[in-house]
Amino acid sequence: MDIRRINSEAIWLLRMLIVAGAEAETPLPNAWIQARALEAGGLEGEELELALTYAGGKDWLDTGARPDTTKLTSFGEQAAKSF
């Protein structure tokens, strides 16, 4: 898959999380993230995993306190608003 597409999907995912009520540094259940991504735009499976991995590599998302959670970072919040 093209890196530009992965980047676009990662940014879309961040924006979608914010619209759905995510706040920076607040742990979100991974199942909630998956459900919102599917409902909002059909992002699932490998595409979702690539977007999550890319966003994590950019420090836009981080592992939450529990292993089944992820949190939007302040960098992720800024990235979603700047693109």
pLDDT at 16: 95
- For the entire predicted model, the pTM comes to 0.91
Q: Residue 29: what are its φ and ψ, rounded to 5°? A: -60, 135
Rounded CA gap, 51 and 9, in Å?
6
Write the pLDDT tens digit of every residue in 13-23: 999 999 999 99
54: its two tokens: 């890319």
- At residue 80, the pLDDT reads 94
Residue 64 pLDDT grade (very low, low, confident, very high; cuts 50, 70, 90): confident
**Measured distance CA(44)–CA(71) in Å, rounded:** 18
Question: What pLDDT digit, counting tens, does each position of 6-63 carry?
Answer: 999 999 999 999 999 999 999 999 999 999 999 888 899 999 999 999 999 999 999 9
Fold of 3-82: Arc Repressor Mutant, subunit A (1.10.10)
The pair of structure tokens assigned to 59 is: 């420090």
Domain residue limits, the chain:
3-82
**Residue count of the chain:** 83
